[in-house]
Amino acid sequence: MIVELARTYYPEWTRGLIKINDVILTQSLELPWLENQRNISCIPEGIYPIVRRQSARFRDHLLIEDVPDRDLILLHPANDASEELRGCVAPVMRLLGSDKGSYSRIALELIMANLALVNYDDCFIKIYEAIDF
């Protein structure tokens, strides 16, 4: 299964749409593109394996694997890109302007529900630039 993340880049943040089977599930927030620098940039466009992961802080979420020169890149709940992200992807149900959103936990639960029956050996995220959405 392919989860798609279509991005639009801005100087201070990155906006996205997360789709599965051509159906838009959520929007997303990320840090701006700053040449893949750790902790301050979103990750490069590409196709990456994703696996289910659990932690006390984020509970059920996704790990994006094999990102060049980066590690522990997650798809996890966050409503403020500049305050809560260090290169990860935050799904949100609604954008509130620039780098903020709302209902991130609900957005992540929607994604996880759509992946509930997936064999994660065949699960990938495809990240690419969208002209406009």
pTM, whole model, 2 decimals? 0.95
Number of domains in the chain: 1
pLDDT in tens, 21-35: 999 999 999 999 999
Residue 19: domain span: 2-129
Question: What is the 3 state secondary structure string of the chain?
Answer: CEEEEEEEECCCCEEEEEEECCEEEEEEEECCCCCCCCCCCCCCCEEEEEEEEEECCCEEEEEECCCCCCCCEEECCCCEHHHHCCCCEEEECEECCCCEEECHHHHHHHHHHHCCCCCHHHCEEEEEECCCC
Q: What is the structure's pLDDT at 119?
A: 82
Q: What is the structure's pLDDT at 39?
A: 96
Q: What is the structure's pLDDT at 98?
A: 84
Q: What is the structure's pLDDT at 133?
A: 62
CATH number, domain containing residue 14: 2.40.440
Q: What is the structure's pLDDT at 97?
A: 80
Residue numbers in the chain where pLDDT is lower than 50: none
